Chain A
Amino acid sequence: MADVNILELFQKAALEVDNRKLSGLTKETVISSLGMDSVAVMELVSYFEEKLSVRIPDEELGRVRTLGDLRDCVARHLPPGTQVTA
């Protein structure tokens, strides 16, 4: 996989999984401020894992607050050579 833009992918995921149109996302956006329930948020995580072929360890989820945190977390587990931007 080439470059991955987390903000774009998150927007796409929210639409597909939760039928939610998001705009104005930045890497400072706090995920919990988007008003999605906890089940939908975990479905989004699953969407990321599937699309990027990564596995985010359960115990790292608690520290993912912002989209920037999500980018860092995903980047840690992607195969070398793939760029993650936000």
Chain B
Amino acid sequence: MNPPPAPIGLVESLDSARDVHDRGFTFLGGAADGTDLVYSFAGLRQEAIKRAHHLRALGLTKGDRVAMVIPDGQEFIPTFLGALWAGLVPVPLYPPLALGKLDAFMEALTGILIASTPRVLVVGAKVKPLLWSVVGKVATLESIVDSSELGKPAPGADERPCPLEPGDLAFLQYTSGSTSAPKGVMVTHGSLAANCDTIAKLAVRTNASDVGVSWLPLYHDMGLIGHVLTPIIARVTSVFIPTLSFIKNATLWLETIHKYKGTLSFAPNFAYALVTKRARADQLARWDLSRMRIFGCGAEPINPGTMRAFADKFAQCGLKPEAITPCYGMAEATLAMSFVGLDQPLKTDAIDEASYHGEQTARPAAQGKAQLDVVSCGKVLPFHELSIQDDTGRRLAERVVGEICFKGPSVAAGYWQNPEATRAAGMGPEGNGWLRTGDLGYLAEGEIYISGRLKDILIVNGRNYYPQRIEWAVEEVAGVRKGSAVVFSRPGKSSEEVVVCAETRDPDREALRAAIVAKVNEDLQLAVADVRLVPPGVLPKTSSGKLQRRKTREQYLADKLGKEGVRTMGDMGQRLLVAKHLAFSLMGRARHSARGIVRRFLS
């Protein structure tokens, strides 16, 4: 394919919105009196210029990081754009709005601030009193600024944006829940323009009558790039619902689409499950969802059952089945990698379960044989490539399962001040251009199917968590053997669910279970769906004594945990694994039956 035409940069695009008064962003309840606040794109440009002026006045110069904890969209978006206008590097961070989680939030926030070395932290007025205590803990931080201060008039502000090159850093995207070593994806102005431009023109194919509706958090890639930055470049009128308002009342999402004649909306799988459960008969009778061109689904594994239930329930509101649009992306690819075609309804591939687990191939299932349903996430974005590779980087054939790799102008520059992680993911100047996603999948007739993950990251309600971090929390609970906690996910009804396995000698299993659930919830804001406590020596370990997370998960899902013999300690014993256990692993039978359980659970 020919190289893509040079896309227009975000700041350049915003600058050219000087006369765009008929389209823009609406913030539900965003005005001081609680009514909706509307910015045309021209107005948004003015607001960004004003904020850029105030940020420059703080002495900030090109490339300086500006951390942002701003819950309200009407404050967040102009501040973010103002920072880009001034050539600064915003670091968007999530606000402390979860019930009872202030301590855990402060710890995570401090970790990211120390790693991203910002000079200034811009905060929403309401959360400012909560955040003062971080100042002393972050050496680079010079001041905390109330975002409304940046919105004050700035007569005579310099209207020119900072000159930017495609290789210049646009912002840092922190995506994971790890506090000890947070990884900030370096999105450049070039990767951002490439991704937004391709999404708008060639995937979503935006038009003048489109209306985007989003409740997604703005510190998250799908909410920020998909629903804010791409619409700016494509001039798509958009309506923003405060995230917390959606969480408290999920039906507000579809109510807003109905009221504002929405055509585009993206959300993770769990949101579709939640709104399907919560919509009432009187709402179904009233809502018109017939204008919706795209209900995009991404950011966490897609459960075909959830999406079918959603399509069925809202068919009476005029929802077209082809509006359901699975897509695949991640922050390391700036945002999107693949999209399902706009006229294509939800498509699943029924593959033979035995050959998937036995030979790592995805053969179409024969009639009457056990099968797995895998959702198609469509074709790769134009001007980009997807391939399936083994761990040596060799490309695998169609319908062979391996690591999904992605190449093209949307790939981010790497992780902030973390060359090791950058190298491991195939990014940066030393990489060969192929981003290693850590996801497992296969290609069939040019479409990508995601079937699992190499990385052990858990994705719960659209957020990523490192299992190590949860395991450390579990091991702090009295009664849990040190170094014996294993955490992984299992498929749940609407999102993945967290499972904890640990070894203990404590006879009071019930009390220990409750203590573990409480600890994980306190520290990480996570609900634990199941705690499996076993006697010492049961959880599978490698010959070097490392716990085997994936094998533990397989045994758990196959209901074989603790039933395959006890691991004997000592050098010799570790090599002499119980024969039955070994036989099961070799034949892949444990995995086979694990999938059976998963399938029944999902169906």
Given contacts A38-B525, A39-B247, contact A33 B517 (CB under 8 A): yes
Does B339 reach chain A (CB closer than 8 Å)?
no
Contact A37 B461 (CB under 8 A): yes
Q: With A and B bound together, what is the CA distance between A58 and B95 in angstroms?
A: 10
- Min Cβ gap B251→A in Å is 11
Contact A30 B100 (CB under 8 A): yes
B244: which A residues are within 8 A, CB to CB? 42, 58
- Min Cβ gap B592→A in Å is 30
B100: which A residues are within 8 A, CB to CB? 30-32, 61-66, 69
B461 is contacted by which of A38, A57, A61, A63 (Cβ under 8 Å)? A38
- Min Cβ gap A20→B in Å is 11
Q: With A and B bound together, what is the CA distance between A8 and B365 in angstroms?
A: 52
A36: which B residues are within 8 A, CB to CB? 527
Number of A interface residues in the complex (CB < 8 A): 26
Contact B97 A39 (CB under 8 A): no
Does A43 reach chain B (CB closer than 8 Å)?
yes
Contact A61 B98 (CB under 8 A): yes
Contact A62 B102 (CB under 8 A): yes
B488: which A residues are within 8 A, CB to CB? none
Contact B99 A59 (CB under 8 A): no
Interface range on chain B (Cβ under 8 Å from partner)? 20 to 34
A47-76, CB under 8 A of B: which get 1 and which 0?
001000000011101111110010000000
Q: With A and B bound together, what is the CA distance between A59 and B125 in angstroms?
A: 10
Q: With A and B bound together, what is the CA distance between A43 and B247 in angstroms?
A: 7
Does A11 reach chain B (CB closer than 8 Å)?
no
Q: With A and B bound together, what is the CA distance between A39 and B100 in angstroms?
A: 13
Give the residues from 245 to 274 in chain B that come closer than 8 angstroms, CB to CB, to chain A: 247-249, 270, 274
Q: With A and B bound together, what is the CA distance between A69 and B97 in angstroms?
A: 15
Q: With A and B bound together, what is the CA distance between A35 and B98 in angstroms?
A: 15
B98 is contacted by which of A46, A57, A62, A66 (Cβ under 8 Å)? A62
Q: With A and B bound together, what is the CA distance between A33 and B99 in angstroms?
A: 12
Q: With A and B bound together, what is the CA distance between A33 and B517 in angstroms?
A: 6
Chain A CB within 10 Å — which of B99, B105, B525 has the most? Answer: B99
Closest to B71 in A: A58
Contact A57 B247 (CB under 8 A): no
Contact B247 A58 (CB under 8 A): no
Q: With A and B bound together, what is the CA distance between A35 and B518 in angstroms?
A: 7
Give the residues from 344 to 370 in chain B that come closer than 8 angstroms, CB to CB, to chain A: none
Q: With A and B bound together, what is the CA distance between A62 and B100 in angstroms?
A: 4
Does B130 reach chain A (CB closer than 8 Å)?
yes
Chain B CB within 10 Å — which of A45, A61, A62 has the most? Answer: A62
Given contacts A39-B247, A43-B248, A46-B249, contact A59 B527 (CB under 8 A): no
- Min Cβ gap A48→B in Å is 10
Closest to B242 in A: A58
Q: With A and B bound together, what is the CA distance between A42 and B129 in angstroms?
A: 22
Contact A58 B517 (CB under 8 A): no
Chain B CB within 10 Å — which of A46, A57, A59 has the most? Answer: A59
B460: which A residues are within 8 A, CB to CB? 37
Q: With A and B bound together, what is the CA distance between A32 and B270 in angstroms?
A: 20
Contact A59 B522 (CB under 8 A): no
Q: With A and B bound together, what is the CA distance between A63 and B130 in angstroms?
A: 10
Q: With A and B bound together, what is the CA distance between A40 and B526 in angstroms?
A: 12
A49: which B residues are within 8 A, CB to CB? 248
Closest to B521 in A: A32
Q: With A and B bound together, what is the CA distance between A25 and B93 in angstroms?
A: 34
Q: With A and B bound together, what is the CA distance between A64 and B100 in angstroms?
A: 4
Does A84 reach chain B (CB closer than 8 Å)?
no
Contact A33 B248 (CB under 8 A): no
Contact A62 B130 (CB under 8 A): yes
A65: which B residues are within 8 A, CB to CB? 100
B528: which A residues are within 8 A, CB to CB? 35
- Min Cβ gap B516→A in Å is 10
Does A41 reach chain B (CB closer than 8 Å)?
yes
Does B204 reach chain A (CB closer than 8 Å)?
no
B274: which A residues are within 8 A, CB to CB? 39
A59 is contacted by which of B127, B514, B518, B521 (Cβ under 8 Å)? B127
Does B96 reach chain A (CB closer than 8 Å)?
yes
Closest to A62 in B: B102
B546: which A residues are within 8 A, CB to CB? none
Contact A33 B521 (CB under 8 A): yes
Closest to A40 in B: B527
Chain B CB within 10 Å — which of A38, A45, A64 has the most? Answer: A38
Closest to A73 in B: B99
Does B101 reach chain A (CB closer than 8 Å)?
yes
Given contacts A42-B247, A46-B248, A57-B126, contact A33 B518 (CB under 8 A): yes
Closest to A37 in B: B527
B103-131, CB under 8 A of A: which get 1 and which 0?
00100000000000000000000110110
Q: With A and B bound together, what is the CA distance between A32 and B129 in angstroms?
A: 24
- Min Cβ gap B93→A in Å is 14
Q: With A and B bound together, what is the CA distance between A83 and B526 in angstroms?
A: 33
Chain A CB within 10 Å — which of B95, B130, B244, B527 has the most? Answer: B527
Q: With A and B bound together, what is the CA distance between A13 and B473 in angstroms?
A: 29
A62 is contacted by which of B97, B249, B514, B522 (Cβ under 8 Å)? B97
- Min Cβ gap A64→B in Å is 5
- Min Cβ gap A49→B in Å is 8
Contact A62 B527 (CB under 8 A): no
Closest to A35 in B: B517
- Min Cβ gap A33→B in Å is 4
Contact B99 A45 (CB under 8 A): yes
Given contacts A36-B527, A38-B461, A46-B249, contact A31 B99 (CB under 8 A): yes
Given contacts A45-B99, A58-B244, A62-B97, contact A39 B270 (CB under 8 A): yes
Beyond A32-B518, A59-B130, 6 extra complex contacts between A and B, CB < 8 Å:
A31-B99, A32-B100, A33-B517, A61-B98, A62-B102, A62-B130
**What are 13 A-B pairs at a CB distance below 8 A?**
A32-B99, A32-B521, A32-B522, A32-B525, A35-B527, A37-B461, A38-B461, A38-B526, A43-B247, A46-B248, A49-B248, A58-B126, A61-B99
By a beta-carbon cutoff of 8 Å, the part of chain A in contact with chain B is 30-33, 35-43, 45-46, 49, 57-59, 61-66, 69
Sorted nearest first, the 9 A-B pairs with minimum C-beta distance are: A46-B248, A62-B102, A33-B518, A32-B521, A37-B527, A65-B100, A42-B247, A59-B126, A62-B96
